[in-house]
Amino acid sequence: MERYPESIEELKSIVCAASRLKFVTKVLYCLRFTQNHPEYNEQIGCCWYLDGESFLVNSGALGAFLDLKSNSINTNFREHGFQVQKGDKVPPELLEMSNRNWKKRKATIGNFNRNSSIADADSIGLVDSSKKDQTPEKPVQKQFISIFQNKPKPVEPAPPPKIQNALDEFFKISDKLHQKISIEHMLLEMPLDDAEKNKLLSDIVSQWKQAFGINQSVPACQAVENLIPDTPKRSKYLTFQMRVNLVYLIYQDPSASSQSVSLMQGNLNFDQFAKFYVRYGHPSNDSLLEQLTVVPQIVSDMESIDDALNEANYDDDASFINGFIPHSHKNEITQKVWNSPVHSWALIHSKTANKFVLYCKSDQILQLYITVNIATIDPKNRITVKFGNDIKGTSDWKSLFQLLSLPSDKGLQLAPVSIPCVKEIGADEINVDTPKNSVQTTPSGSQMLFLTPDSQTYQTDSQFSISNNFSFEGWSQHQADSQFNFYD
């Protein structure tokens, strides 16, 4: 019995897999899916007509779903004998669709209908051109045509490679297509052009294969030590702390594809590595991860690090530079910055995989998006911010903080964050203490202004007291009525 995909993701992976299926077979897969899931008619671009013999098709939508151009869709239909059917009645399916650019087609050769099998679709070949109706040519027409037939055709440049060629090849034979889908969704949100995305994907796949081969999931401890090896270029304590921070950044990520009960006994998945890579690059020497990592300056910590190194245990406290608190929520971090009498800024992860968000305290909370482009060919613009209509870039975090005049001692500090050990128990062992209400109250009579990139202002109850004169060097020209405008 033939098995058909049950989800649109599974359908997409089948019909777009390395050209292993014939065009007609791909169409049958799509028609069979929309027959069972009519809510996807417009997205996929085809559905059976009432008679079960002909079908409706939107070449643009179907081409987008199959990663083919719309004119290629029409050409394939003609070459396989699927003719456009004329009619004076608008089918009810078409009336419900927002895009009316649909045609009704029907197969003129082979067995292709609602009850056809995959074998039936595979058996449909190209229409024999010798059987096509041709109008007899006049002598002059023949002579005219022969002139152009003998003229050499210009060589057309090869089409650019698909953005996802590297990804498609890596997941060609895999049972972990959910990882591929996760990476595809991540790329859609990133403000990069096709060439940059293509290079980024190629780099990610290349770095992973170099370290772990074609495996799409590897033991976490092995992965961490492979990605951040021991080297005389840095101290063993910095190497250890970078490994700890790598574990924290990947496994404490709310969008991580999987969480292990014991993190260092679990696995590192390819999609987790990809999401880390687009924000930090490869965690090698002088990487963005190393620039944000600090070793705690406490002798007792060094002794515990020695023990942890001997045991290859990286479930320890993450330690970053002041101001960097990666996984914090916007509301939580803005309240902390606003209420702190000492600290005036904090840097966190954005929801977009290659972005960070900077929050600063002036006479209101200022929000600035910072973009990281690991795939850029210009290392001086690896980290960029917008200054009005201009873009300024740096190659490292230290240079960016200097560009923004961020005082290092004013960055909000990250409390010790160790990854908790989770114990699996039965229901009879549950004993949860009710936490005390720790919500802090603030004096009334004042408000916090929160300025977002679209210049909307939100108000929340909080007390504000200017504890330092904070400013951005080079941005004073954008100040108006004591408010800065930043653009995403």
Q: CA distances (Å), 54 to each of 50, 84, 96, 106, 132, in order? A: 8, 9, 18, 4, 22
Sequence-ordered list of residues with C-beta below 8 angstroms from that of 152, at least 6 positions apart, any chain: none
Nearest to 185 by CA among 253, 268, 257: 257
Task: Quick: pLDDT tens for 82-135.
Answer: 998 876 555 665 556 666 678 889 999 889 999 999 889 989 988 864 444 444
Average pLDDT rounded to a whole number, residues 144-162: 47
67-98 burial by CB neighbour count: b if 16+ within 10 A, else e?
ebebeebbebbeebbbeeeeeeeebebbeebe
Average pLDDT rounded to a whole number, residues 413-428: 56
Query: 3-state SS string over the chain?
Result: CCCCCCCHHHHHHHHCCCCCCCHHHHHHHHHHHHHHCHHHHHHHCEEECCCCCEEEECHHHHHHHHCCCHHHHHHHHHHCCEEECCCCCCCHHHHCCCCCCCEEEEECCCCCCCCCCHHHHHCCCCCCHHHCCCCCCCHHHHHHHHHHHHCCCCCCCCCCCCCCHHHHHHCCCCCCHHHHHHHHHHHHHCCCCHHHHHHHHHHHHHHHHHHHCCCCEEEHHHHHHHHCCCCCCCCHHHHHHHHHHHHHHHHCCCCCCCCCCCHHHCEEEHHHHHHHHHHHCCCCCCCHHHHHECCCCCHHHHHHHHHHHHHCCCCCEECECCCECCCCCHHHHHHHHHHCCCCCEEEEECCCCCEEEEEEECCCEEEEEEEECCCCCCHHHCEEEEECCEEEEECCHHHHHHHCCCCHHHECCCCCEECCCCCCCCHHHCCCCCCCCCCCCCCCCCEEEEECCCCCEEEEECCCCCCCCCCCCCCHHHEECCEECCCC
Write down the domain spans for the chain: 8-129, 167-318, 330-423+441-484
What is the band of 138 on the pLDDT scale with cuts at 50, 70, 90?
Answer: very low
pLDDT at 400 over 60: yes
Ranges 63-67, 213-217, 239-243, 465-469: which has the least confidence: 465-469
The whole-number pLDDT of residue 253 equals 63
d(CA 350, CA 184): 18
Share above pLDDT 90 across residues of the chain, in percent, rounded to a whole number: 19
Q: Which residue has the tokens 């009704």?
A: 104
Name beta bridge partners: 345.
Answer: 360, 411
Q: CA distances (Å), 361 to each of 39, 143, 178, 434, 485, in order? A: 48, 80, 41, 34, 14
What is the band of 482 on the pLDDT scale with cuts at 50, 70, 90?
Answer: very low
The whole-number pLDDT of residue 279 equals 92
Task: Quick: pLDDT tens for 248-302.
Answer: 888 776 555 444 434 555 788 888 999 999 999 988 767 899 999 988 765 345 5
Average pLDDT rounded to a whole number, residues 455-465: 31
- Mean pLDDT score of the chain: 74
pLDDT at 28 over 70: yes
Total-model pTM: 0.53
The whole-number pLDDT of residue 107 equals 93
Cα 195-201-207 angle, rounded to 5 deg: 130
Sequence-ordered list of residues with C-beta below 8 angstroms from that of 87, at least 6 positions apart, any chain: 104
The whole-number pLDDT of residue 379 equals 85
Name beta bridge partners: 360.
Answer: 345, 366
d(CA 97, CA 381): 45
Ranges 294-303, 379-388, 391-400: which has the least confidence: 294-303
Q: Which amino acid is at 150?
A: N
Top-tier CATH class for 8-129? mainly alpha
Average pLDDT rounded to a whole number, residues 357-376: 89
**Where does residue 52 fall: left (phi above 0), alpha (psi -120 to 50 degrees), or beta otherwise?**
left
The whole-number pLDDT of residue 137 equals 43
Task: Quick: pLDDT tens for 191-212.
Answer: 778 888 888 888 988 889 888 8
Sequence-ordered list of residues with C-beta below 8 angstroms from that of 283, at least 6 positions apart, any chain: 227, 228, 242, 246, 276, 289, 290
What is the band of 438 on the pLDDT scale with cuts at 50, 70, 90?
Answer: very low
